[in-house]
Amino acid sequence: MSKRIDVKDLNVYYGNFLAVEDVSINIEAKSVTAFIGPSGCGKSTFLRTLNRMHEVLPGARVEGEVLLDGDNLYGPGVDPVTVRSQIGMVFQRPNPFPTMSIRDNVLAGVKLNNQKISKGEADALVERSLRGANLWNEVKDRLEKPGSGLSGGQQQRLCIARAIAVEPQVILMDEPCSALDPISTLAVEDLINELKDQYTVVIVTHNMQQAARVSDKTAFFNIAGTGKPGKLIEFAETSTIFNNPSQNATEDYVSGRFG
């Protein structure tokens, strides 16, 4: 239950503005891949093209191919709704549905895809998903309380539980810890390590230690200057990127010498 992603010659545009230029990358199944790079280099934009969430933004479009185990996400007749139910996403700020209970938050995606689910099955799924997100013990006595009453870190793990409840092939995470304190960050990082046993995980992060801790492979994105498109500079094993990068720009960035 996890698939690989192969991106071929992908360009991302906002209207006529080329935001990300010519990215080709192969993301292995059941691994954690980190995207690092300075702000505005297009790594979040690129991440969104992996489940067509960029289409929410007006004027955004892509050229090129994104293959999920060989199936092009941008092929004719492919419904973005189906794509997103297979490739889940966790956002920068925790966003549980405030009007729903913790339980209903976990079940939100499942109820979309599969309208009929018995109470017993639903209970089992809620427990399995919350256990999978390392949140079960903290919330098992208050499943009917609103999700917005949890702490930030708990909310983020609730969002992860909601994403894995639909059993996606891939989970995309867009700076999932940037709004969390160090303890909550640790909890989410531990979770990412466990998730890769079952899922393909792609994570965008500003925190290089985090990339070094959680990822198997790291992609470094950079931008030549304002108004220029973001590019993929280097993609390799995480240890290579941090210890022995082949590009000067990568070395400057990971060693903190970046301007």
Partner 1 sequence: MTTTSLTSSRGAGRAGDKVFSGAALAAGCLILAVLFGVALFLVIQAIPAFTAPAADIQGGEGFFAYIWPIVIGTLIAAIIALAIATPVSIGVALFISHFAPRGLASGLGYVIDLLAAIPSVVYGAWGAAFLAPQISPAYGWLAANMGWLPIFQGPASATGKTILTAGIVLSVMVIPIITSLSREIFLQTPKLHEEAALALGATRWEMIKMSVLPFARPGIISAVMLGLGRALGETMAVALVLSSGALTASLIQSGNQTIAAEIALNFPEASGLKVSTLIAAGLVLFVITLAVNMIARWIISRHKEFSGAN
Binding site for partner 1 (CB under 8 A): 51, 53, 56, 58, 81-82, 84-86, 88-89, 91, 93, 95-101, 108-109, 112-113, 145-146, 148-149, 159, 162-163, 166
Contact residues for 80 (Cβ-Cβ < 8 A; gap 6+): 52, 55
Q: What is the closest distance, in whole angstroms, from the C-beta atom of residue 220 to partner 1 in the complex?
A: 25
- Rank residues 154 and 250 by Cβ distance to partner 1 and give the closer one: 154
Q: What is the closest distance, in whole angstroms, from the C-beta atom of residue 82 to partner 1 in the complex?
A: 7
Residue 136 CB neighbour total at 10 angstroms: 17
Dihedral sign for Cα atoms in the order 6, 9, 14, 19: positive
- Rank residues 64 and 149 by Cβ distance to partner 1 and give the closer one: 149
Residue 193 CB neighbour total at 10 angstroms: 12
- Rank residues 69 and 252 by Cβ distance to partner 1 and give the closer one: 69
- Rank residues 3 and 84 by Cβ distance to partner 1 and give the closer one: 84
Q: What is the closest distance, in whole angstroms, from the C-beta atom of residue 171 to partner 1 in the complex?
A: 10
Q: What CA–CA distances, in Å, run from 250 to 211, 216, 240, 256?
A: 14, 17, 11, 10
User: 99: burial class by Cβ within 10 Å (0-12, 13-18, 19+)?
Assistant: exposed
Residue type, 154: Q
Q: What is the closest distance, in whole angstroms, from the C-beta atom of residue 205 to partner 1 in the complex?
A: 18
- Rank residues 37 and 96 by Cβ distance to partner 1 and give the closer one: 96
- Residue 223 is encoded by which pair of tokens? 């931008």
Q: What is the closest distance, in whole angstroms, from the C-beta atom of residue 2 to partner 1 in the complex?
A: 17
